[in-house]
Amino acid sequence: MPFLDSLNWRFAAKHFSSDKKVSAEDLDTVLEAIRMAPTSFGMQPFHAYVVSNKDVLKELRAASFDQAQVEESSYYIVFAARTDGVDRVDEHIEALAAGDPEKLASLEKMRSIRKKSLSKKSPEELVTWARNQVYIALGFALAAAAELRIDSCPMEGFLPAEYAKILQMPDTLIPAVSLALGYRKEGPERPKFRFSNEDLFTHVS
Ligand SMILES: Cc1cc2nc3c(=O)[nH]c(=O)nc-3n(C[C@H](O)[C@H](O)[C@H](O)COP(=O)(O)O)c2cc1C
């Protein structure tokens, strides 16, 4: 299926059908797309909650200005930005070394450069940096879902502090954006609109 056909097919679904559920296999493909998304320094400074529990979805809907697609989704993915960027450097380096002391030694320079770079950021800047990575993962998930002909709705319309409470997130996570997955109950409210190429792009050739 040509990629652009998939992008034209998708839209931000407001209601999902209760007759058809996204399969566990397709969910795994979307999660793998999230895992494979590129991130700054390759550090993947996010964590995602994959919610299918009906009671929890109901609570999340209430914390999302009553948006129905939250509760009607087969799976609702809540992306949270990690606030512990500097500690994440250590986790990343240890994981890259995979217990090999020689590899670990060869990664020490990288550790120090990355720690220095991230330590220069204020706590707010670190969260912004982590959030930026979350949105790349969201984009990959949206594209993967469309390729699988799974409907979706990316969402920011929720109360982050409420989400953190409902999902019992640790203090090191801040809910940033979410993605509802399911099968459309109805078509889009209006035709797809996008600004023109002239509006969006300047070629410097
Ligand atoms: C980061 C982000 C947050 C969004 N939040 C919501 C939301 O809370 N509720 C909703 O119904 N749509 C939400 N949308 C969907 C957009 O309104 C929609 O993607 C946009 O109007 C373009 O339409 P299309 O996705 O149908 O092509 C969000 C989209 C993005 C990318």
pLDDT tens for each residue of 131-186:
999 999 999 999 999 999 999 999 999 999 999 999 999 999 999 999 999 999 99
State the CATH number of the domain containing residue 150.
3.40.109.10
Does some domain include residue 180? yes
Span 35-51, pLDDT tens digits: 999 999 999 999 999 99
Taking the centre of ligand 1 as the mean of its atom positions, its distance from the CA of residue 100, in whole angstroms, is: 45
In the numeric block, which tokens belong to residue 122?
């204020």
Q: Would residue 22 count as lying in a domain?
A: yes
Is 148 part of any domain? Answer: yes
**205 in a structural domain:** no
Determine how many CB atoms are found less than 10 A away from the CB of residue 174: 20
* Tens of pLDDT, residues 72-84: 999 999 999 999 9
From 64, 152, 156, 193, the mutation candidate for ligand 1 (largest count of ligand atoms within 8 A of CB) is: 156
Residue of 49, 86, 54, 48 whose CA lies nearest to 71: 54
Domain total of the chain: 1
Q: In the prediction, which pLDDT does 2 show?
A: 92
Cα separations in angstroms, 191 against 12, 21, 188, 199: 12, 26, 7, 19
pLDDT at 183: 98
Q: Ligand 1, residue 188: give the atom nearest the CA.
A: 26
Mean pLDDT of 14-24: 97
CB 70 within 8 A of CB 76: yes
pLDDT, tens digit (0-9, with 9 covering 90-100), for 53-67: 999 999 999 999 999
136 within ligand 1 shell (Cβ under 6 A): no
Q: Is the pLDDT of residue 1 over 70?
A: no
Ligand 1 centroid distance, CA of 64 (Å)? 13
pLDDT mean over 10-18: 98
Protein residue whose Cα sits closest to atom 20 of ligand 1: 12
Question: Taking the model in full, what pTM does it have?
Answer: 0.97
Q: Quick: pLDDT tens for 85-141.
A: 899 999 999 999 999 999 999 999 999 999 999 999 999 999 999 999 999 999 999
**Residue 105: burial class (beta carbons within 10 Å; 0-12, 13-18, 19+):** exposed
| Residue 48: predicted pLDDT | 98
Q: Which domain holds residue 91?
A: 3-200
Residue of 7, 155, 192 to mutate, ligand 1, most atoms within 8 A of C-beta: 155
Q: Is residue 127 part of a domain?
A: yes
pLDDT at 163: 99
Instruction: Give ∠ CA 162-15-24 in degrees, rounded to 5.
Output: 80
- Residue 124 located in a structural domain: yes
Residue with the nearest Cα to atom 30 of ligand 1? 154
Cα–ligand 1 centroid distance for 141 (angstroms):
14
| Strand bridging mode 151-155 / 75-82 | unpaired
Residue nearest (by alpha carbon) to ligand 1 atom 13? 155
The rounded Å distance from CA 41 to ligand 1 centre is: 28
| Residues 82/130, Cβ–Cβ less than 8 Å | yes
Instruction: Confirm or reject: Cβ of 66 under 6 Å from ligand 1.
Output: no
Say yes or no to pLDDT of 9 above 70: yes
